Structure 1
């Protein structure tokens, strides 16, 4: 299935690599699952969009913002099947998984990249290498304020690590011995979970989340399975770095 009229606006990423935004990565994996193509576009200023965030899908004259709404649009307007053979109960559990990952677990990524100094040193070097002086610190301050206002940033490092470990334990228990969630073929659940876990485990920004994911053998294998399937270049780079 192809859809050459589709354009996906996302943050920049190296060729063959997954996007360092879990939501942009999710959108890309959704296209891969559906076997659909799109034109990738890196906007000069993503804040021109009404929600001031990425990813954004343009389908002809329609502008679809938010990765979850993009999923629903592709299902409703392009016949994409992101649920596979999931039962109603599995869809309900999948819905809960995705909300946990996107509404709590992913805050751990923001915390390690933007709040903690070790992650920030790497994040700023990658994301703001060509930015004018002062921009990086300004954006960091905004993210840290968001984390504080949300409440997540008010917890201690130990408490946040405990939160993430509990979430990953839940994911590992539900995944079990399956290749993907509830079966051998990926669904929308995997687009969401992989987008985050790949950034935890295999991102160029290396923090303690790498070892945390690796402490769950089934989740480590899950991420590597997804890399091998969707981002083989990134998988080969990961193996070289581990050698």
Structure 2
């Protein structure tokens, strides 16, 4: 339900760092998800968590990259997280809010009491403050299309974003693109990734098969409890 959760958990798998996932609605110290607890200390923000674990565990998924490649890698990561992300947020929480309850499989009382409406309002307010929320739906979809096609063009026939082996950026971009493939059925984002840019669908499947061999088992888990 969050590309940043997928990013962090994929990174943990890429880095072979043991972890125990906890599913629920609890927000982290920055008021967002995902977040972790490490040695009794709560930490938020997927990017800062990864930076911390890199130092703590001596991990460097970017060790094969030149300084120029690292700059490109960061640029694509930030494009996805600070720009493309909002297309999915709008699609889920604003344009198709009525389907959120079914996707989340929340209890009937959550739906009746409208307990998810504050989330929708927060997303709308955040998008307005960001600036992208001031655009029309068509304008936002056009922005997202340009982003996704830029990733597709740069990826080309490479197996991973920066070359033959995955790097940190792949965790971030997989988190964004896997939602388009699996969380937004029938959406323009799904069409972009699976029809217009088939190399991205192949990329998503490549990452999923390599790092998520338990994908089918996990996607049939018990629904999130409210």
Q: What residue number does 2:3 align with?
A: 22
1:215-226 paired onto structure 2 within 5 Å = 215-226=196-207
Find the aligned partners of 2:186 and 2:212 in 1 and give their Cα distance: 18
Per-residue deviation, residues 138-197 of structure 1 (Å, max 9, x unmatched): 321222222223221221222112101111121112212111112122111000000000
* SS of residue paired to 2:126: helix
Q: Give 1:204 shift.
A: 6.0
TM-score of the superposed pair, with normalisation by structure 1: 0.81
Find the aligned partners of 2:36 and 2:218 in 1 and give their Cα distance: 29
Q: What's the RMSD between the two structures over aligned residues?
A: 2.2
Q: How many residues align?
A: 215
Whether contact under 8 Å (2:94, 2:120) holds in the other structure is yes
Find the aligned partners of 2:37 and 2:118 in 1 and give their Cα distance: 30
Q: What residue number does 2:222 align with?
A: none
Whether contact under 8 Å (2:29, 2:42) holds in the other structure is no
Q: Give 1:133 shift.
A: 0.9
Aligned with 1:90 (options 57, 69, 83): 69
Aligned with 1:139 (options 114, 119, 129): 119
Find the aligned partners of 2:133 and 2:126 in 1 and give their Cα distance: 8
Q: What residue number does 1:213 align with?
A: 193
TM-score of the superposed pair, with normalisation by structure 2: 0.87
- Cα pair distance change 1:26/1:156, threshold 3 Å: same
Q: What residue number does 1:3 align with?
A: none
- Cα pair distance change 1:58/1:237, threshold 3 Å: closer
* SS of residue paired to 2:106: coil
- Cα pair distance change 1:111/1:44, threshold 3 Å: closer
Find the aligned partners of 1:161 and 1:55 in 2 and give their Cα distance: 26
**Is 1:108–2:81 an aligned residue pair?**
no
Q: What residue number does 2:45 align with?
A: 66
Find the aligned partners of 2:197 and 2:75 in 1 and give their Cα distance: 21
**Is 1:168–2:148 an aligned residue pair?**
yes
Which segment drifts farther, 146-155 or 183-192?
146-155
**Is 1:54–2:36 an aligned residue pair?**
no
**Is 1:36–2:17 an aligned residue pair?**
yes
- Cα pair distance change 1:237/1:206, threshold 3 Å: farther
Find the aligned partners of 1:77 and 1:26 in 2 and give their Cα distance: 19
Whether contact under 8 Å (2:184, 2:190) holds in the other structure is no
Which runs of 5 or more structure 1 residues have no equivalent in the other structure? Answer: 1-19, 239-243
Q: What residue number does 1:76 align with?
A: 55
Find the aligned partners of 2:46 and 2:185 in 1 and give their Cα distance: 23
